[in-house]
Amino acid sequence: MTNTLPTTDIRPARWLHRLCVLAVCLVWPLIWVGGLVTTYDAGMAVPDWPATYGYNLFLYPYKTWLLGPFDLFIEHGHRLLGAVVGFVAIGIVIAAFAKEPRRWVRWFCVGLLVMVIAQGLLGGMRVVLGDRTLAMVHGCFGPAFFAVCVVAAVVTSDFWWRRNDSTTMGLPKIGRGILAVGFCLIGLSYLQLVLGAQLRHVQPTTRPGIFAMIIMLHVMTAFILWAATGGAWLRLRRCGDLTLSRPAAGLVGLVAVQIALGIGTWVVNYGWPSILEWVPGSADFLIRAKGFADSIIVTAHVATGSLILAVSAMLTARLGRERSRRRNESPSDDSAITKQPELAVSSDSVPATVTS
């Protein structure tokens, strides 16, 4: 499918899109580092906030940070990377109001900045108050912010501005059903994250029965999500657009990897389950507290869950845009091809003199 931009004076804000992509590329590593902070119980390695042992965040001695204890390294690094993401979010808002012609996109970018500020405050209050519940909320809010960054990258990309041409005419319409499946993928993947956060930040007062129930819900939701991704891929594999079918296929693989990482997380935390005792080496397996390889498995499980949510959000945003674009087609009309550029512009891009 050809990526052709509308032939008008309205053009995508290139720097806005690049900054959104940069935010996506920074937030996922930030989630990895945040996951390591929880895995190593390093959330209180720096007991004050927003300062770091009395120093300004950016003036803390780098040798003490780099050569100090590992929990200090990842906690202070988490704060530094979060601050960089905040600066990028400010740049996104500036670029949006400077170059972006769509009013709703500008305010969407403002919402992105508000989210990163709220996430920073949640992390700070978790340190100041020492509250595990705030740590859980902080862990659930981060993936949501990651998904919003991905959607921002989609709505500012060439894909969103692409118009129909002769190569796209006659492709099957995208109905409400598949769009609803996309929203279900978002809901299921986020529910998985919330259930997983409750397991990672389990309260000392949690009863064993409640803990077991959360585990069962977590496992059941994982396989329901896997089935839903398979159904979405079957619906989209012949849609005629690789920008839709490939992410759907990727989601099937990601959920499969996530289930495998979930089994690995259980093994390194609680030992081999009875149903896997037939696996060679299971009898000699020994649980090691905070082993590096084990912590990578646990953190990868967390980060992959966030990636599944982000890809689901990207796919749903693209589905909504492509559905709107294909509904504007009129294949039976001989002049449809010549009229289509105007439809593509008017459906989403209003001249700046109207929107400003």
pLDDT for the residue 200:
84
Q: Report the alpha-carbon distance of residue 22 to residue 118 in Å, rounded.
A: 20
Most confident of 31-40, 283-292, 307-316: 307-316
**Mean pLDDT of all residues in 109-129:** 93
pLDDT band at 8 (very low <50, low <70, confident <90, very high): very low
Asked whether the beta carbons of 194 and 221 are under 8 A apart, the reply is no
pLDDT for the residue 173:
65
Q: Report the alpha-carbon distance of residue 42 to residue 70 in Å, rounded.
A: 9
User: 10-57, pLDDT tens digit by residue?
Assistant: 666 789 999 999 999 999 999 999 988 888 888 788 888 888 898 999
Give the global pTM: 0.84
DSSP state letters, 165-212:
-TTTTTPPP--HHHHHHHHHHHHHHHHHHHHHHHHHT--TT--HHHHH
* Two structure tokens written together for 318: 């693209």
User: 330-348, pLDDT tens digit by residue?
Assistant: 444 433 333 433 333 333 4
pLDDT for the residue 179:
84
**Mean pLDDT of all residues in 221-241:** 88
User: 51-102, pLDDT tens digit by residue?
Assistant: 889 899 999 998 889 988 888 999 999 999 999 999 999 999 999 999 899 9
DSSP state letters, 87-144:
HHHHHHHHHHHHH---HHHHHHHHHHHHHHHHHHHHHHHHHHHT-HHHHHHHHHHHHH
The residues near 131 (Cβ < 8 Å, ≥ 6 apart) are 125
In SS3 terms, 278-308 reads as CCCCCCCCCCCCCCHHHHHHHHHHHHHHHHH
Strand partners, 55: 52
